[in-house]
């Protein structure tokens, strides 16, 4: 598997934030720190490609290879 196998969800919104989740293949997910959230520099080094401003704010607990991202909405 490679960075080509990273899955990016569509974006979804609430009144404050825009969200998306990213699903990493197992070989890349093994490199994700388990004890903290990643900085933008760290997730970019893993091969995650997104526009600026996205923050890694959580994991999907049942599947730790699913990273949750958000950024403040600018369209409100």
Each residue's pLDDT tens digit, 34-75 = 899 999 999 999 999 999 999 999 998 888 899 999 999 988
Average of per-residue pLDDT across 7-21? 97
Residue-level pLDDT at 40: 97
Which runs of E-coded beta strand occur in the chain? 7-8, 12-13, 17-23, 55-60, 63-72
> CATH classification of 3-72, choosing from 3.30.170.10, 3.40.50.740, 2.170.190.11, 3.30.450.20?
3.30.170.10
Residue-level pLDDT at 43: 97
The residue whose two tokens read 């919104």 is: 13
Q: Which of 27, 28, 21 is nearest to 62 (CA)?
A: 21
């Amino acid at each position: 598997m490679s960075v080509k196998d990273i899955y990016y969800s569509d974006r979804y919104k609430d009144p404050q934030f825009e969200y998306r989740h990213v699903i990493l293949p197992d070989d890349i997910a093994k490199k994700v720190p388990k004890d903290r959230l990643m900085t933008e520099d760290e997730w970019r080094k893993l091969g995650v490609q997104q526009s600026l401003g996205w923050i890694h704010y959580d994991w999907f607990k049942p599947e730790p290879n699913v990273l949750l991202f958000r950024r403040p909405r600018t369209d409100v």
